[in-house]
Amino acid sequence: MDVFTIVLSISVASIYTDFNYIDLSNDLVYSWFLLLITYYLLFGQIFQLYNLNVSNNNFLVFKSVFITSIITTLLYVFSPYIAPSLPENRLQIIYFFLLISIPTIIWRLFYIWIFFSPKYFKTIVVVGDSLATEKLIELIQFKNFHNIASYVSNTEINKLSNFHDVKTVDLIELVHSSLASEIVISTSGFSKEIIKNLNKQLISLFKEGINIKSFETYYEEVTDRVPRDHLDYNFYKQINFSKNNDNHFYHFMQRVIDIVISLIGISFFIAILPLLFIANLIGNRGALFYTQNRVGFKGEIFKILKLRSMVVDAEKNGAIWAQKNDSRITSFGKFLRTTRLDEFPQFFNILKGEMSLIGPRPERPEFVKELEEKIPFYAIRHVVRPGLTGWAQVNYPYANTIEEQETKLRYDLFYIKERSSFLNFKILIKTISTVLLLKGQ
């Protein structure tokens, strides 16, 4: 709809007004529109225009559309050869920006008012024991994207309505009467007799086209991380390598991309190095670079290269987890972390093959030893090459407790399970968004 709105507004303006920056009669008009759409969708992703948490908020929609339209306009009008020639009347550029932004904002506000309404949400029935059901319903209510028609459990849960006893429920009638389109179920904790009865009804509902998902599948779809329950002695039943793990072409292309982007990153880093050196003399007063041992692919130790962002001798009393608003971070170091410039020297590690552009962030041996003792499955994250950025990195802030590290691990395990070119692209876009919006820690 964004694309349709933009193309329609420009076309109408070209036909009925004196807007002529994009000439509809020109043979190149289709390639011009294609370029415009590509820019807009790319920057729309970067500035979170297609994030559901943004698209249902008036202010955030206005902000995202405005920034996306400005960047798209600037890049478009200064794209040589592949975009229309700059108009003699420079006001045409302002008209162009307004034709992109205003109609899109109006459409987006209409979407929030009409379509982003509970009556259009997916209606689901939750089936599971009281503990699993309560956790799942809390998660659904927190995300606020689905309607819960009712829940089927062995015990009624306080503060939740529409309870049905799993021993006596007519699941088929319940789904029909509530007009539910999906069932989320966990049979853990139920007896064999109850499971057998549920399965008979589920088969009938499945034949009718009702979507049936396990708690674990639904949890991963909503949270983008594996459930905590998967971290047990049966982990191998749930946590497997993605299909791309055995895809040689995927690995080859990933390495090619790593080399190309690391060379670009190193070139940019060298270009700004004099400025960083001067700023470090003023704001950091000490060495610009430092190295640190990290645990890499298959548990091998390598030296990571970074720009120093903390005071000298920040860990003279031993290794300490970094955390948000860490008092050891210098004023210049805070800038480096916010812009992620402190990570740029790691392009050398990527070029050497010690790291990849995307993967679980490498941790220090001291921390890994402790984490592997307290989280037995922590070592699983070392089955892929560590990355400059990763799924856990873009979805979770600094983790400085065992519980937070476990949560971060579950994001990494999700990446290992689902690793693909599309997911890598998604991580890259989220990383660019973090850098441009100065969300780095």
pLDDT digits 0-9 by tens, 366-404? 889 989 988 878 988 999 999 999 999 888 877 778 888
pLDDT for residue 322: 66
> What are the tokens at 153?
């459990």
For 78-116, b where at least 16 C-beta lie within 10 A, e where not — what string?
A: eeeeebbeebeeeebbebbbebbbebbbebbeeeeeeee
| Gap between the Cα atoms of 261 and 355, Å rounded | 13
In which residue are the tokens 């299909």 written?
Answer: 243
Q: Which residues of the chain have pLDDT under 50?
A: none
> What are the tokens at 103?
């109609």
> Is residue 319 classed as helix, strand or coil in its secondary structure?
coil
In which residue are the tokens 């640190």 written?
Answer: 292
pLDDT for residue 9: 95
pLDDT for residue 120: 60
CB atoms within 10 A of CB 23: 13
Residue intervals in the chain for CATH 3.40.50.10700: 118-223
7-15's contacts with Cβ under 8 Å and 24+ in sequence apart are: 7/33, 7/37, 8/103, 9/99, 9/100, 9/102, 9/103, 10/96, 10/99, 10/100, 13/95, 13/99
CATH number of 118-223: 3.40.50.10700
> Is residue 292 classed as helix, strand or coil in its secondary structure?
strand
pLDDT for residue 138: 79
pLDDT for residue 117: 60
| Gap between the Cα atoms of 192 and 200, Å rounded | 12
Q: Are the beta carbons of 45 and 422 closer than 8 angstroms?
A: no
pLDDT for residue 129: 86
CB atoms within 10 A of CB 31: 12
Q: Are the beta carbons of 44 and 2 closer than 8 angstroms?
A: yes
How far apart, in Å, are the Cα atoms of 364 and each of 357, 361, 367, 373, 386?
Answer: 18, 10, 5, 14, 12
For 416-430, b where at least 16 C-beta lie within 10 A, e where not — what string?
A: bbbbeeebbebbbbb
pLDDT for residue 143: 63
Q: What are residue 283's phi and psi, to 5 degrees?
A: -100, -15
Q: Write the Ramachandran bin of 40: left for phi over 0, alpha for psi from -120 to 50, otherwise beta.
A: alpha
* Bridge partner residues of 190 (DSSP): none
| Gap between the Cα atoms of 39 and 45, Å rounded | 10
The reported pTM is 0.77
C-alpha 199, offset from chain centre: 35
Q: Tell how strand 289-295 and strand 301-307 pair up.
A: antiparallel
